[in-house]
Structure 1
Amino acid sequence: MSQTLDRGLQVLPLLAQGPTGLGEVAEHLGVHKSTALRLLRTLHEHGLVYRQSDQRYRLGARLFALAQEAMESLDVREIAHPHLVRLNEACGHTVHLAVHEEGEVLYIDKVDSRYPVRMYSRIGKPVALTVAAVAKVLLSDLPEAERRTLAEGLDYPLYTPRSTPHAAAFLKELAAVREQGWATDLGGHEESINCVAAPIRGADGRTVAAMSVSTPHVVVPRDELLALLPLVRRTADAISGEFSGRPPTKDTP
């Protein structure tokens, strides 16, 4: 039984590359055509593969439905929370998790700093789109045309002298974030608060959430906070790996 299951698991990635004939499947598995045919028939009965009119096989609709159901049942907050707690224990600072929903970026989890100076952020509260590091991470993943439309439709309040002043500057920053894979807010919303953020990605590589570490400048100067970036990125990569079902990237800086 385990050998049959193993062969079935070998067939699915093969068919993911495109429609495949019985002979190719048998050759790939190293078995006789009759054995491959029995396996394909079983997978076909369960809707995992589909036989086309040209007698070649491709992945079946049931497989895509199962994948969609699995993705919809995933709770990024539930998966991320233990990682956020460990990061907080390692660095001692406030850790946030945020998502982009219906035009807003919202905090969906927070682990407070161990220091007396606390952040006023709250779970469920929208962030300032044009300055928050988590917002930059999430919005940078949008297609270019969508980024441009969004940026040109935003207001750009000058919370501090470091705030993003206009759409052109925001688009330039989003392009840089997209390229480097992380973002900062160094006094852009509150002069005394600095933040670094990294993306959490799904199996398709798209950003599904963003996580960050935030600190008051009186506790950690900007340079020291930036030194935490490798730890933040490793944590985000570990969450991404667990969320998407793939191993985390070992060479993340």
Structure 2
Amino acid sequence: MSQSLSRALQILIELGEGERSLDQVAASLGVHKTTAMRLLHTLEADRFVRRDDRQRYHLGSRLFALGGAALAQHAIRDVAQPHLTRLAAETGGQAVHLAGYENGTAIYLAKVESTHAVRMYSRVGLPAALHATAVGKVLVADLPPGEREAVIAGIDFHPFTSRTIADAAGYREVLARTREQGWAEDAAEHEDFINCVGAPVRDETGRVVAAVSVSVPDVILPREGVRALVPQLLAATEAISADWAGRSS
């Protein structure tokens, strides 16, 4: 990848986390302000970046169209959406997610928001921690052994909470259990007050193509109560899998 392209992409990633000044962008890239300004002007000209009246930079409107196109190209999202909506209603208005695996990252492809006042931090298009979310565990558990080991080697096992899996050995045990039981759990491992269960969506060959999860604040349901939602979750993922296989045949 060319240095200019790499820097431009780094700017977009940085702005995805919030507005930045020219000085902040230059410092993040480790370049002179004139270099950062040249990159920003190029991105601004094509509407990838916009500048406000305080000379702060934000993501631009061109990304709206690209984001919509990217989601539209994930056909599994369209197949799954009615099932996700139904699952959310059947579980009492809990948050439901669909995630896919892309270039070593689990990405949220769809979300049905909880109807409760307490909600979890997640957004379509953002990554899900592979070691600390139910969907991440489901997606990694199905990878071929060599690829799975490469992914595990790249995880830094950041401790989001005191319950986050701390090392590769513990993660391998969880992945083995996930494959054996057919679903995964996030027991307040990513957010202290959220418990979650996730299960795979499979294609006609049995390969995992996505993962679905139900996430519940502990003030709504305790951990055992969330585990009790697994049969409904599995029914939903089986229905999505059947529809997906039918679409592909």
Tell me whether 1:231 sits opposite 2:227 in the alignment.
no
Letter matched to residue 78 of structure 2: E
Counterpart CA distance in 2 for 1:90 and 1:116 is: 18
Alignment correspondent of 2:4: none
Q: What residue in structure 2 maps to residue 104 of structure 1?
A: 105
Structure 1 stretches of at least 4 aligned residues deviating more than 4 Å after TM superposition: none
Q: Given the two structures, how large is their TM-score scaled by the length of structure 2?
A: 0.68
Which residue of 1 is the match for residue 181 of structure 2?
Answer: 180
Q: Is the 8 A contact 1:147 1:171 kept in 2?
A: no
The one-letter code sitting in structure 2 at the alignment partner of 1:177 is T
Deviations 1:158-178 (A, max 9, x none): 111211111111111111111
Instruction: Give the distance between the partners of 1:154 and 1:120, measured in 2 at CA.
Output: 21
**CA distance in 1 between partners of 2:94 and 2:111 (Å):** 11
> What does residue 76 of structure 1 align with?
76
Distance (whole Å) between structure 2 residues aligned to residue 131 and residue 158 of structure 1 = 8
Question: Residue by residue, what CA displacement relative to the aligned partner does 1:155-196 show, whole Å, maximum 9, x if unpaired?
Answer: 011111211111111111111111111000011111111100
Which secondary structure state, in structure 2, belongs to the residue aligned with residue 99 of structure 1? strand
2:191 matched to 1:190?
yes
Quote how far apart the aligned CAs of 1:149 are. 2.0
CA contact (8 A) 1:74 1:243 kept: no
Q: Where in structure 1 are there 5+ consecutive unaligned residues? A: 1-72, 247-253
| 1: CA distance, partners of 2:145 / 2:170 | 15
Partners of 1:87 and 1:172 in 2: how far apart?
A: 29
Separation (CA, whole Å) in 1 of partners of 2:128 and 2:155: 13
Partner of 1:86 in structure 2? 86
Max Rg structure: 1
Matched residues in 1 for 2:116 and 2:155: separation? 35
Identical residues among aligned pairs (%): 47
**Structure 1 CA distance for aligned equivalents of residues 74 and 100 of structure 2:** 14
TM-score, scaled to structure 1: 0.67
Query: Are the counterparts in 2 of residues 138 and 209 from structure 1 also a CA contact under 8 Å?
Result: yes
Residue in 2 that maps onto 1:133: 134
Between the aligned partners of 1:138 and 1:119, the Cα distance in structure 2 is 20
Q: Distance in 1 between matches of 2:176 and 2:104?
A: 19
Q: Which runs of 5+ in 2 are unaligned?
A: 1-72
Measured after TM superposition, the shift of residue 75 of structure 1 is 1.1
Displacement of 1:74 after TM fit?
7.7
Q: Match for residue 149 of structure 1?
A: 150
1:232 CA displacement: 0.3
Aligned residues of 1:112 and 1:119 also touching (Cα < 8 A): no
Match of 2:9 in 1: none
Aligned pair count reads 174
Q: Is 1:160 aligned to residue 128 of structure 2?
A: no
Deviations 1:188-223 (A, max 9, x none): 111111100000000110000000000111111111
Deviations 1:91-132 (A, max 9, x none): 110000000001110000000111111222100000111111
Aligned match of 2:38? none
Q: CA deviation at 1:153?
A: 2.2
Alignment-derived partner of residue 170 in structure 1: 171
- What is the CA RMSD across the aligned residues, in angstroms? 1.3
Structure 2: distance between partners of 1:88 and 1:217: 17
**C-alpha distance in 2 between matches for 1:74 and 1:235:** 19
**Contact persistence 1:81–1:109 (CA under 8 A):** yes
Equivalent-residue separation in structure 1 for 2:77 and 2:151 (angstroms): 26
1:105 & 1:243 partners in 2: Cα distance? Answer: 19
